[in-house]
Structure 1
């Protein structure tokens, strides 16, 4: 009887784990579909007209749950606003909102998280946070200018950073756009093989 209960518990746990994995995969696939729909929509696509005609879908790294990271969020109060560099002469005002401390492959990392002064004035973006970063895939399998992740202000001292949801700035597919350049502090000395890959036009 005890043996049967052990087997039953193991099977139930396995079923739950598989279900959770499937649910997570569907979540990331929905995110990928959203990016593809946005890029393929003539009304909102940043693609040049000639590229839009040939566009089918973006390339993504394989979905990898290890890049779904639980980080310790440390709020940084009273930060001095600064003008973030972009790919043009535009210098939008941002503020360092906090830090994300996390572990990946046994090593500790820290990324700065920012808030746009312009966006926070709009009701729909008042809780929006911005995480630009670079890593060792840039210029090879991912866009050379780095990638972005959208976040929300956490309610406690934990924040989820899902690199599987890393996306390219518009500049990756059209140089006429002005895009933030990730600060040097957010350069990760490892390969983040997750999220959107390099755009091939």
Structure 2
């Protein structure tokens, strides 16, 4: 599922060109690309009835305080495990590393994961998966958490990592139950409100 979400964003960087004269919805390029993909019936996870009335995803205002410099620590010899999903499917993942950062004066830590099927594909071998929940989950944002797509190449030579919560998005199962989505591990709950990224979808 995550491959699908990541692929449509990259694809639309190319396909959203000057041939489409309509302005794209969104405050940033990321938001515009995400909205364009949801509006396109060939890439959208929305059900037909929701796609018909789609006017754009609801985002928090972009907030630079949720773009944080984190410290990356690689987890060596991490065992492969089955990641629970909303459908009972159990894809194989491993813990790739830890991100430590500060938000609103408090220290936090999140675990980065790596889909083991993706490591077999040259196009996705550098992809990392960051699911999280926070104090907005189940209220302003999707209850099962949100995702951020990252890459191993995003890690700076000094071991730092730019983490932009404004680019967090909902899993496809937030829009359509036919999709199978990894459930956020309990250890990746942030005891703070992350008012950045995509909000809950109002059908």
TM-score, normalised to structure 1's length? 0.85
Report what 1:169 is aligned to: 171
Q: Extract unaligned runs of 5+ from structure 1.
A: 1-26
Deviations 1:124-180 (A, max 9, x none): 111110000000101111111100000111243111110000000001111111101
Q: Which has the larger radius of gyration?
A: 1
Which of 153, 158, 161 is residue 159 of structure 1 equivalent to?
Answer: 161
Match of 1:73 in 2: 72
Q: Where do residues 98-113 of structure 1 align in structure 2 (5 Å cutoff)?
A: 98-113=97-112
Corresponding residue number in structure 2 for 1:192:
194
Give the drift of 1:102: 0.5
Once the two structures are TM-superposed, the CA of residue 105 in structure 1 deviates from its matched residue by 1.0
CA contact (8 A) 1:114 1:130 kept: yes
| Inter-partner Cα distance in structure 1 for 2:145 and 2:96 | 20
- 1:32 is matched with which residue? 31
Look up the match of 1:6. none
> What is the count of residue pairs matched by the alignment?
175
- 8 A Cα contact 1:163 1:195, kept in partner: yes
Match of 1:87? Answer: 86
Runs of 4+ in 1 over 4 A off after TM superposition: none
Structure with greater proportional helix content? 1
Contact 1:99-1:110 within 8 A present in 2 as well: yes
Q: Is the 8 A contact 1:128 1:150 kept in 2?
A: yes
Alpha-carbon RMSD = 1.2
Instruction: Please state how far the C-alpha of 1:97 moved relative to its aligned partner.
Output: 0.3
Structure 2 residue runs of 5 or longer lacking an equivalent are 1-25
Q: How far did residue 28 of structure 1 move? A: 6.6
